[in-house]
Copies of this chain bind each other. A is one copy, B any other.
Amino acid sequence: MAKLILFPVPIGATDPDTSLPPYNRELLNACHIFIVENIRTARRNLKRMGYSSPIDNVTFLELNEHTSPLDISHYLDPIAQGEDIGLMSEAGIPCVADPGSLITSMAQRNGIDILPLIGPCSIMLALMASGFNGQNFAFNGYPPIDEKSRTTLLHTLEQRIYRDHQTQIFIEAPYRNDKLLQYLAAHLQPTTRICVATDITLPTQYIRTRLARQWRTDPPQLNKRPTIFLIYK
């Protein structure tokens, strides 16, 4: 039966053999309709991943802030005609920190089978290497920009670390990374630990855990480098 296949994409310009199981490429080559955030980068990603069918025959369906809900409502129609549809992220696994769940929730409502494939998830790779609790953790997306909301949220999440033993995970717009680390180092309790995980899967990968007060001196340069921030006791 035809299905919706969730295709992860390598992060950055890395060799796909470091990030994707060989099975993914088999399924990729048999798929000719893809839902993507951006057609130009999706073409490039297909090539990088070794897509061997002619790319000119591929149908791309765009899913981003400009797509109307009415368009989306027809995206999965080809599945009823027996055609698999692929959902690709820009980088990493789809439907985590991207708009893909609009499509998967529609598929679930319509009883369509979904096949999620294995690939790089920087959140989980960071968590694995942080040394923090992996039996209880939360990914909170982007912290609010407004100083007051940010302080309130950080306080709530730091409580969850100590009371529920729950690791707290964030991301930030890459050009604000240095600011966020500075903020966390200054506002968390001095002995709360912060893990900074940068350039995950890239040759410049850096994953380091130190106490909040230790990060106040000699912080790394994180500007424009994709970074995951984790905090724990």
Q: Report which A residues bind B (CB closer than 8 A).
A: 6, 15-23, 93-98, 100-101, 104-109, 114-116, 118-121, 124-141, 166, 195, 201, 205, 207-209
Among B93, B116, B137, which residue has its beta carbon within 8 angstroms of that of A139?
B137
* A-B contact sample (12 more), CB < 8 A, given A98-B134, A118-B120, A136-B141: A19-B118, A21-B21, A95-B127, A96-B135, A100-B134, A104-B130, A106-B131, A108-B209, A115-B129, A121-B121, A136-B139, A138-B139
Contact A129 B6 (CB under 8 A): yes
Once A124-B93, A138-B137 are accepted as A-B contacts, the answer to whether A105 and B132 lie under 8 Å apart by CB is yes
Complex Cα gap A101–B132 (Å): 6
Once A17-B21, A23-B17 are accepted as A-B contacts, the answer to whether A105 and B121 lie under 8 Å apart by CB is no
Give chain B nearest CB distance to A88 CB in angstroms. Answer: 12
Complex Cα gap A119–B93 (Å): 12
Among B20, B22, B116, which residue has its beta carbon within 8 angstroms of that of A129?
B116
Complex Cα gap A53–B135 (Å): 33
User: A127's closest neighbor in chain B, by CB?
Assistant: B96
Q: Which residues of B contact A93 (CB under 8 A)?
A: 124, 128
Give me 21 A-to-B residue pairs in the complex whose CB atoms sit less than 8 angstroms apart, sorted by A's number: A6-B128, A6-B129, A15-B23, A18-B118, A19-B118, A94-B128, A95-B127, A96-B127, A96-B134, A101-B133, A104-B130, A108-B208, A109-B131, A114-B129, A114-B207, A118-B121, A118-B201, A135-B139, A136-B138, A136-B140, A137-B139
Q: Which residues of B contact A16 (CB under 8 A)?
A: 21
Q: Which residues of B contact A23 (CB under 8 A)?
A: 15, 17-19
Complex Cα gap A97–B209 (Å): 20
Contact B118 A131 (CB under 8 A): no
Give chain B nearest CB distance to A157 CB in angstroms. Answer: 11
Most buried by B among A115, A131, A209: A131
Q: Which residues of B contact A120 (CB under 8 A)?
A: 118
Complex Cα gap A117–B38 (Å): 28
Contact A128 B104 (CB under 8 A): yes
User: A142's closest neighbor in chain B, by CB?
Assistant: B135
